[in-house]
Structure 1
Amino acid sequence: MYQLDPPGGEILKLLDTHAHIHFHQFDKDRKDVIRRIEEKLELVINVGIDVEDSKKALKIAKKSKKILCSVGIHPHNAKDTDRNHLDMLKDLADSEKVVAVGETGLDYYRNFSPKDDQIRIFVEQIKIARELEKPLIIHARDSFGDVYSILSRETLPKRRGVIHAFSGDYTWARKFVDLGFYLGIGGLVTYPKNDVLRDAVRKIGARYLLPETDCPYLPPVPNRGKRNEPIYVEYVILKMSEILLIEPEKLSEILLENTSDLFLEVKE
């Protein structure tokens, strides 16, 4: 395994394609977290989970040139979402610093919203993404089958999107990649028991992967039990480099190119 200095080493191009630095867990030291982003990372995408939360995510993104934003309605919040919320979300999604629609999708693990509501709001956000020509950031927990079915039948944005916090096997990885989606790889890939995920990463290859933290959640080894933050994405990239047998510097260049291709492409 390649070894580097502690997170933030200048040897890597670090980027975090899924963060929630507007969440309350960062209230006491958010300025310091943003300072570390500006010093150590190429970019961070700050992700909203409902209309009001997305406004907060966008407000934080406007504080730094290195922070971009995605706005969306998480499946947990689908039951509380009406047409007015969707219209407001579309207006937010058309903002300059917003590069994606989401976090949207389906969560059948907790089922905080009825499945019918989750599916309805997911499909509506796919329509918004398509109309605005922005990619999707998709939450799919215990719901790969329905997510895949919906993505297969709906008309999607040209730049499809990413399956956030991907945790599946190679078969599912291949199916989503064949639809044109990237796979978001975070701290889960560093956990000792996740051999199936590591196998999927190895077989899919770097071209279809994006690094993420999902901070403040899912901290990577060796920081399990601590609050996660964007600079810890280095541990994710190091683990990916070990799995893929690609030097970290080279891998970080590939991941940056993937991120640019998906989120930073300028509309013609």
Structure 2
Amino acid sequence: MLFDTHTHLDAPQFDDDREETIQRAYDQGVTRMINIGFNRETIPTTMKLAESYDFIYAAVGWHPQDAITMKDGDMDWIAELCKHEKVVAIGEIGLDYYWDTSPKDVQHKVFRQQIGLARSLGMPISIHNRDAHEDVVRILREEKAHEVGGVMHSFSGSWEIGKMCLDMGFHLSFGGPITFKNAKQPKEVLIKTPMDRLLIETDSPYLTPHPFRGKRNESAHVKLVAEMAAELKGVDFEEISRITTQNALERFGIR
């Protein structure tokens, strides 16, 4: 039993074979997935997927790259969707200093607003952090994100940053990069991450693991992530699958 805690099955890359891709993942033992709705276009398609498949859940939020597009009423829309039984987190939210699509001050404002919303609703948050480690940690602390906790999605920071996030009650989630030959830091951080705070994901169709790197990623490949995590942790595949699935069920409040 595997749990892909972060995927984008509604992405256009799956338009020609979405149903087959989802079935392929399920046949590989990926019995639960969380699809991420992160802007005005993907929130509705994420909700449609969650309502169409018993084993697909939803996270809804506003991506930092799209922060500048957020309008009055969008926060209320997210809050309303969080009442849905299949919505298990607010995300992905955070900061992205790699793509210059939204000014930093706007990203900060939208990030803070969504942490506040999560605290008011008691919902965990899924954090997107690209080249913004210090600011992400600082804002999480200032906005008391420890009250809800959540997931550092596709964690790419140092152990020092990871430890700060763990201390705030967050889980660290790892994907395809841990299978890359030269990905020294993510492997080291995963080894140090406590087993009860470890999650796995694909972020498909992105971050495809070895040996399929360069091709479209899909949720079935979370099995490759689990295999590498097991190797790094020195446990068997069944054990890492069981633990990461149980961690996800507890983190997202899924029965």
Bin of the TM-score, shorter chain as denominator length: over 0.9
CA–CA separation in structure 2 for the residues paired with 1:30 and 1:112: 28
What residue ranges of structure 2 are gaps of 5+ in the alignment?
A: none
Classify the secondary structure of the residue corresponding to 2:126.
Answer: strand
Q: Give the structure 2 partner of residue 56 of structure 1.
A: 45
Paired positions, count: 254
DSSP-derived class of the 2:235 partner? coil
Runs of 4+ more than 6 Å apart: none
The yes-or-no answer on 1:74 pairing with 2:63 is yes
TM-score (norm 2): 0.96
Query: In the aligned structure 2, how far is the partner of 1:203 from the partner of 1:36?
Result: 32
Q: What whole-Å deviation, never above 9, does each CA across 1:150-189 have from its counterpart, x for those lacking one?
A: 1111133644100111012211111111111001100011
Whole-Å Cα distance in 1 between the matches of residues 124 and 18 of structure 2? Answer: 27
Q: Aligned partner of 1:58: which letter?
A: M
CA distance in 2, matches of 1:92, 1:145: 30
Q: Select 1:227's aligned residue among 194, 206, 216.
A: 216
Deviation by residue 1:214-233 (Cα, 9 ceiling, x = unmatched)? 00000000110111010100
Residue in 1 that maps onto 2:241: 252
Residues 234-243 or 88-97, more deviating: 88-97
Residue in 1 aligned with 2:145? 156
Separation in structure 1 between the aligned mates of residue 146 and residue 252 of structure 2, nearest angstrom: 12
Deviation at 1:205, TM superposition (A): 3.0
Task: Give the structure 1 partner of residue 225 of structure 2.
Answer: 236
TM-score (norm 1): 0.91
Q: Which residue of 2 aligns with 1:146?
A: 135
Q: Which residue of the partner structure matches residue 114 of structure 1?
A: 103
Paired amino acid for 1:83: D
2:16 aligned residue (10, 15, 28): 28
Q: Classify the secondary structure of the residue corresponding to 1:253.
A: helix
Deviation at 1:89, TM superposition (A): 1.6
CA distance in structure 2 between the partners assigned to 1:104 and 1:242 by the alignment = 31
* Structure 1 unmatched ranges of 5 or more: 1-12
Quick check: 1:218–1:228 contact (8 Å CA) kept in 2? yes
User: How do residues 88-107 of structure 1 correspond to structure 2 at under 5 angstroms?
Assistant: 88-107=77-96
1:185 and 1:212 in contact (8 A); partners too: yes
Percent identity between matched residues is: 38
Deviation at 1:34? 2.0
